[in-house]
Structure 1
Amino acid sequence: MIWFQGVINIALPIYFLWRLFKADYVSRRQWWAEWLSIAMFIGFVFVLSPWHIYVYYFRYLWPLLFVIISIFSFKRIKDKPVKGPEKDKSYTFSLILSGALAVYFGLFFSLGLSGYFFNDREKAIELEFPLKDGVFTTGHGGAHTSINYHHSHPEQAYAYDILQLNGFGLRANGLTPSENRQYQIYGQTLYSPCSGTVTAAVDEHEDLPPLEMPTEVEDAAGNHVIINCLDAEVLIAHMKPDTVVVSEGDEVESGDVIGGVGNTGNTSEAHLHIHAVRDGEGIPILFDGRFLKRNSLIFN
Structure 2
Amino acid sequence: MKKIVFYVLCVMEVICLACVYLAGGMAGAYAWSFAVFVLAPLSLIVALVQVIALLVRKLKKKSLKWNLMLLIISLIGAYPITILLGISSITYPTKADKKEEIAAVMPVKDGITFGGVNYKTHAIWPSECYAYDILVEPYDIESNDLTKFGIYNADVVAPVSGTIIGLENSEEDILPNTDEFKSQLGNYVFIKIDRTGTFMILAHLEKNSIKVTVGDHITEGEYIGKVGNSGTTSEPHLHIQHQRNNPLQMVFPTCSEGLPIKFKK
Q: Verify same fold: TM over 0.5.
A: yes
Corresponding residue for residue 131 of structure 1: 108
Tell me the SS of whatever aligns to 1:150.
coil
Q: TM-score, normalized by length of structure 1? A: 0.51
CA distance in 2, matches of 1:193, 1:149: 20
Tell me the SS of whatever aligns to 1:247.
coil
Equivalent positions of 1:79-98 (< 5 A) are none
Q: Is the 8 A contact 2:204 2:238 kept in 1?
A: yes
Q: Is the 8 A contact 1:221 1:237 kept in 2?
A: yes
Quote the offset at 1:180 in angstroms: 0.7
Corresponding residue for residue 148 of structure 2: 182
CA distance in 2, matches of 1:262, 1:131: 12
1:203-228 CA-to-partner distances (Å, cap 9, x unmatched) read 110000112133xx542110010110
Tell me the SS of whatever aligns to 1:208.
coil
1:96-149 CA-to-partner distances (Å, cap 9, x unmatched) read xxxxxxxxxxxxxxx9xxx9x9652111111111112x3x322x31336xx314
Corresponding residue for residue 52 of structure 2: none
Letter matched to residue 154 of structure 1: P
CA distance in 1, matches of 2:182, 2:175: 17
Q: Name the count of aligned residue pairs.
A: 163
For the pair 1:227 / 2:191, whether they are aligned, the reply is yes
Equivalent positions of 1:250-289 (< 5 A) are 250-279=216-245, 280-288=256-264
Q: TM-score, normalized by length of structure 2? A: 0.57
Alpha-carbon RMSD: 2.3
CA distance in 2, matches of 1:206, 1:137: 24
Corresponding residue for residue 18 of structure 2: none
Quote the offset at 1:231 in angstroms: 1.4
CA distance in 2, matches of 1:119, 1:205: 33
Q: Is the 8 A contact 2:244 2:258 kept in 1?
A: yes
Structure 2 residue runs without a partner (length 5+)? 1-88, 246-255
Corresponding residue for residue 117 of structure 2: 143
CA distance in 1, matches of 2:106, 2:214: 22
Q: Is the 8 A contact 1:150 1:158 kept in 2?
A: no
Tell me the SS of whatever aligns to 1:210.
coil
Equivalent positions of 1:14-163 (< 5 A) are 120-132=97-109, 134=110, 136-138=111-113, 140-143=114-117, 147-163=119-135
Q: Is the 8 A contact 1:129 1:287 kept in 2?
A: yes
CA distance in 2, matches of 1:241, 1:283: 28
1:226-260 CA-to-partner distances (Å, cap 9, x unmatched) read 11003111000000111010111111111110000
Paired-residue identity, %: 33
CA distance in 2, matches of 1:232, 1:119: 13
For the pair 1:240 / 2:206, whether they are aligned, the reply is yes
Deviation beyond 4 Å, 4+ runs, structure 1: none
CA distance in 2, matches of 1:204, 1:142: 29
Letter matched to residue 145 of structure 2: E
1:29-86 CA-to-partner distances (Å, cap 9, x unmatched) read xxxxxxxxxxxxxxxxxxxxxxxxxxxxxxxxxxxxxxxxxxxxxxxxxxxxxxxxxx
Q: Is the 8 A contact 1:176 1:211 kept in 2?
A: no
Tell me the SS of whatever aligns to 2:123.
helix
CA distance in 1, matches of 2:168, 2:122: 22
- Alpha carbons of structure 1 residues 119 and 281: separation in structure 2 relative to 1, 3 Å: closer
Structure 1 residue runs without a partner (length 5+)? 1-110, 290-300
1:160-183 CA-to-partner distances (Å, cap 9, x unmatched) read 001001xxxx326xx311111110
Tell me the SS of whatever aligns to 2:136.
strand
